[in-house]
Amino acid sequence: MNDTLTSDVIGRRVEVNGEHATVRFSGIVPPVAGLWLGVEWDNPERGKHDGSHEGTVYFKCRHPTGGSFIRPNKVNFGVDFLTAVKNRYVLEDGPEEDGKEQIVIIGNKPVETIGFDSVIKQQSQLSKLQDISLRNCAVNCAGDKGAIAKACPNIRKVDLSRNLLSSWDEVLDIADQLGHLEVLNLSENKLRFPSGSPSRTGTFPALKVLVLNRTGITWAEVLRCASGWPVLEELYLESNDLFISERPADVLQTVKLLDLSSNQLIDENQLFLIAYLPRLEQLILSDIGISTIHFPDAGTGHKTAMFPSLQYLVVNDNQISQWSFINELDKLPSLQALSCIRNPLTEGSKEAQTTRQLIIARIGQLKTLNKCEILPEERRGAELDYRKAFGNEWKAAGGHQDPDKNRPHERFLAAHPRYQLLCLKYGAPEDGELKLHQPFLLKNQLLTLKIKYPNQVDQKVLEKQLPDSMTIQKVKGLLARLLKVPVSELLLSYESPKMPGREIELENDQQSLQFYSVESGDCLLVRW
């Protein structure tokens, strides 16, 4: 840059030695002669002041050390889109003239070509591009009108993250020329968005995935721009200090995935404003600070009308500490998968396996928890353990084995909304089951089990007492020593008097007897 910069540079995004900033001032800063640029750094620790010098305020920064004065010749204002594409994707001529051997760079892979005219070769290569990454390539604008459409007509996926784009209009100038664009990543561009109704619509006719993480966009700006995304399916808005201020009206109706992670201003009341997006299947709410949720339209045991299509919910890294949060999720009519790691509720003193079983028991339709499939036997074990663990509390609240007398009070039903359903599914817990069971102490119980050998008629039936926390692997080790048979050859299953004629395999060596709901009086079946 020379010393004839105009006021047009104000607001421009720039790069200096790998650090990004926004130009806030251009002019003279006495007593030193010459032109200076005042910049506000993205990283405030990079700066030296707040835009003031010797008592004069030249520009303002959000952070007291966010500003610096820099000479224009030290600043990179970036390049246009097509220049960046050519720099990254097209040929570099070797030392020989055209007609000799040349090197074409496709991605990072060099390909030798011989005997082609370099210009034709370049045009051909650009026209074939469909998926490009220009991350951190200092792209600042579209360039000459129509040049992108002419050179790269087939682009469908573009990563423009961490560039020098400064406004949404610059994005539109690029997108206008990419009629097949389906995926666009604009993360880490500090963009100015339109304050009024967008001047151009229909710019993204094919766009399905849009990533706007750390762009500074507001919710109002999302809704204003969304009319230009008629078929959008995935929208990523991480780390924008978003406050959901209004309900989407006639926009975002096609969105299936919405990522609102790391927007700490969002609370449950704001979430209700997006609760009626008809096609929303995946909602990512990691690290938003949420601790409570309540669907006011649904009472105990009923489903909410909110989030009608939501199948996958992510609430990792939040402040969830109460089981009432998990209970409410059972009201979501379509929920099948949940991820809720690194919350006080899941990181407390209880064993991770116990917490997992409690979540499974409380959300009846859940099929995947923390990316791990819930198999039918695991659900059965979790629900039976839950039924026993809170059986005494159920009885104290008015629960009874006789259906005509089974009337637990509302406080118990609110704390355990699925308990009555589990009693219908498995039968009400008998008094004998409850005497030895206390919540979260089931693992301390000793089981009295018979051990039979269906394929070895000459082996005597044994009776052993084993802790129900004992893993299948350790049970096999014990039996291997008793029977003098290699552990690898042993196959275990069990049968229960409560389920005559049914045999349940103990196939996972890392799980415990309790996991499979093995009880005193059951019979272990050992084969080899």
DSSP string, 271-309: HGGGTT-TT--EEE-TTS-------TT--TT---SSSTT
User: What percent of the chain has a predicted confidence (pLDDT) above 70?
Assistant: 88
Joined together, the tokens standing for residue 395 give 């009885």
Joined together, the tokens standing for residue 115 give 């005997």
Q: 169, 203 in Cβ contact below 8 A?
A: no
Q: Where are the beta strands (DSSP E) in 45-90?
A: 52-53, 56-57, 67-70, 79-80
pLDDT at 121: 58
DSSP state of 456: -
425-429, 442-446, 507-511, range with the lowest pLDDT: 442-446
Domains annotated on the chain, with CATH: 10-72 (2.30.30.190), 79-92+110-248+260-268+283-304+314-327+340-350+366-371 (3.80.10), 376-424 (no CATH), 444-525 (3.10.20.90)
pLDDT at 201: 61
Contacts of residue 183, Cβ cutoff 8 Å, sequence gap at least 6: 156, 157, 158, 207, 208, 209
225-229, 355-359, 474-478, 510-514, range with the lowest pLDDT: 510-514
Query: What Rg value do the Cα atoms of the chain yield, rounded?
Result: 32
Average pLDDT over the chain, rounded to an integer:
88
Does 118 have pLDDT greater than 70?
Answer: no
Q: Residue 22, exposed/middle/buried by CB under 10 A (0-12, 13-18, 19+)?
A: buried
Joined together, the tokens standing for residue 56 give 């004069």
Name the pTM for this structure: 0.76
Residue, of 458 and 193, whose pLDDT is higher: 193
pLDDT at 96: 44
Does 498 have pLDDT greater than 50?
Answer: yes
Residue, of 270 and 469, whose pLDDT is higher: 270
pLDDT at 518: 87
pLDDT at 458: 82
Could you read off the pLDDT of 66-94 as tens digits, one per residue? 999 999 999 999 999 999 999 998 755 44
Q: Residue 404, exposed/middle/buried by CB under 10 A (0-12, 13-18, 19+)?
A: exposed
pLDDT at 437: 43
Average pLDDT over residues 310-328: 96
The overall longest dimension of the chain from CA atoms, in Å, is 105
pLDDT at 212: 98
Banded model confidence at residue 110, pLDDT cuts 50, 70, 90? low
Q: Fill in the amino acid letter for 43.
A: N
66-70, 107-111, 194-198, 340-344, range with the lowest pLDDT: 107-111
Does 525 have pLDDT greater than 60?
Answer: yes
Average pLDDT over residues 103-111: 52
Does 401 have pLDDT greater than 80?
Answer: yes
Joined together, the tokens standing for residue 218 give 């507001």
Could you read off the pLDDT of 174-214 as tens digits, one per residue? 999 999 999 999 999 999 998 776 656 667 999 999 999 99
Banded model confidence at residue 156, pLDDT cuts 50, 70, 90? very high
Banded model confidence at residue 482, pLDDT cuts 50, 70, 90? confident
Does 445 have pLDDT greater than 80?
Answer: no
Does 1 have pLDDT greater than 70?
Answer: no
151 vs 116: CA distance, rounded Å: 18
Q: 226, 232 in Cβ contact below 8 A?
A: yes
Banded model confidence at residue 113, pLDDT cuts 50, 70, 90? very low
Banded model confidence at residue 125, pLDDT cuts 50, 70, 90? confident
Q: 24, 38 in Cβ contact below 8 A?
A: yes
Q: Fill in the amino acid letter for 229.
A: W
Query: Residue 346: how many CB atoms within 10 A of its CB?
Result: 19
Does 26 have pLDDT greater than 70?
Answer: yes
Does 305 have pLDDT greater than 90?
Answer: yes
Average pLDDT over residues 352-376: 94
Q: 374, 367 in Cβ contact below 8 A?
A: yes
Helix H or strand E segment including 262: none
Among the listed residues 342, 348, 356, the one whose alpha carbon sits nearest the alpha carbon of residue 385? 356
pLDDT at 253: 97
Q: At what angle do helices 352-362 and 376-389 cross, to 10 degrees?
A: 90
Query: Within a 13 Å sphere around the CA of 420, how many CA atoms are in the beta-carbon half?
Result: 19
